[in-house]
């Protein structure tokens, strides 16, 4: 272990260093390169250029220009936007379906019923209720404030109200601890997934990907830490479960089963057309991906 002593470099210093490493930055492109370095940041952009370096010489491969880096950054930014939009539709659909299903089976305050859950060390009644309490307390929803001004029992608003407050992660973890398989199957079947064990893995994977997108994390060239399971009955056999393509297939499959209009597939296709220099393989998409099950 040693003490960190690297100095902070200006955008101009960094650009000069990149040029010295063989990056092509024509004079006409230097102003835009400086803007990217100032307003996006070299540390962030490094995630889009490190693989363009020769691993032996640590210099850029011949022909690599700053435009290659900027295009990769913009591609990734657009991919996150497309992903966020699609997951938003799914998040609303899943939490609404879960809320309705559990309310009709166990009452509008099902989350207070200890008998319908099998808690784990990571998620149980305490953590679930604490999450609901904190999120409804922070909410500026008129219905939440109206409920508390008019009712005192139960002490929390009904399911359809808390649905608008709590996060996707809440629903993912709550689905997992439902005790009765019939509750799980009723919810997962609504999205075309007959195996609830597969559905819960998909929820976890989508929650992880949603958080990546929401926090502006890089997707291109990254392996997902939480992978969706294969769904044999639905002919979803993923080549690399930790690729973006695996999660995208899950998104596409679930959106189609909601029967709600979505443009996820066409947006992905358009993105590849807009950036032909970026291979779909980099995010796990195989040839003829749009003809495969799930799409």
pLDDT tens-place string over residues 65-88: 999 999 999 999 999 999 999 999
Q: Answer yes or no: do 24 and 98 share one domain.
A: no
Q: What pLDDT, in 10s, does the model give residues 122-152? A: 999 999 999 999 999 999 999 999 999 999 9
Per-residue confidence (pLDDT) for residue 144, from 0 to 100: 94
Report how many domains make up the chain. 2
Reported confidence tier of residue 1, pLDDT bands at 50, 70, 90: confident
Do 55 and 82 have their domain in common? no
CA distances from 86 to 33, 45, 115, 206, 255 (A): 31, 25, 34, 10, 8
279 and 147 in a common domain: yes
Do 176 and 123 contact (CB within 8 A), yes or no? yes
Please check the confidence at residue 187 and state whether its pLDDT lies above 90: yes
Cα–Cα separations (whole angstroms), residue 175 to 94, 95, 112, 198: 10, 10, 15, 12
What's the sign of the alpha-carbon dihedral 219, 283, 188, 257?
positive
Q: Does the reported pTM lie above 0.85?
A: yes
Q: Examine residue 3 and state whether it is found in any structural domain, yes or no.
A: no
DSSP string of 236-293? B--S-TTSHHHHHHHHHHHHHHHT----HHHHHHHHHHH-TTS-GGGGTPPTTGGGST
Are 168 and 150 within 8 A, CB to CB? no
| 5 within a domain of the structure (yes/no) | no
* Full residue range of the structural domain in which residue 98 is found: 75-291
> Are 267 and 248 in a shared domain?
yes
Count of alpha carbons within 13 angstroms of residue 205, beta-carbon side: 25
């Amino acid at each position: 272990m040693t003490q960190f002593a690297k100095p902070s470099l200006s955008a101009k210093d960094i650009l000069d260093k990149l040029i010295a490493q063989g990056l092509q930055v024509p004079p006409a492109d230097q102003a835009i390169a400086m803007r990217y370095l100032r307003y996006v940041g070299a540390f962030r952009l490094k995630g889009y250029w490190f693989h363009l370096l020769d691993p032996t010489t640590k210099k850029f491969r011949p022909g690599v220009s700053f435009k290659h880096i900027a295009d990769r950054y913009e591609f990734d930014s657009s991919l996150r936007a497309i992903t966020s939009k699609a997951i938003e539709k799914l998040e609303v659909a899943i939490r609404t379906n879960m809320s309705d299903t559990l309310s009709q089976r166990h009452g509008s305050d099902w989350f207070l019923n200890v008998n319908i859950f099998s808690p784990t060390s990571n998620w149980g009644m305490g953590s679930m209720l604490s999450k609901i309490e904190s999120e409804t307390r922070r909410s500026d929803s008129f219905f939440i404030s109206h409920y508390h001004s008019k009712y005192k029992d139960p002490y929390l608003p009904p399911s359809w109200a808390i649905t608008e407050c709590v996060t996707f992660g809440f629903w993912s973890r709550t689905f997992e601890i439902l005790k009765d398989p019939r509750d799980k199957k009723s919810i997962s079947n609504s999205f075309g997934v007959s195996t609830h064990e597969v559905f819960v893995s998909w929820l976890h994977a989508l929650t992880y990907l949603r958080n990546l997108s929401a926090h502006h994390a890089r997707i291109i060239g990254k392996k997902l830490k939480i992978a969706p399971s294969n769904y044999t009955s639905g002919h979803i056999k993923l080549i690399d479960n930790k690729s973006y393509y695996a999660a995208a297939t899950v998104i596409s499959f679930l959106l189609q089963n909601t029967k709600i209009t979505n443009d996820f597939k066409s947006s992905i296709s358009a993105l590849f057309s807009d950036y032909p220099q970026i291979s779909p393989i980099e995010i796990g998409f195989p040839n003829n991906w749009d003809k495969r099950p799930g799409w």
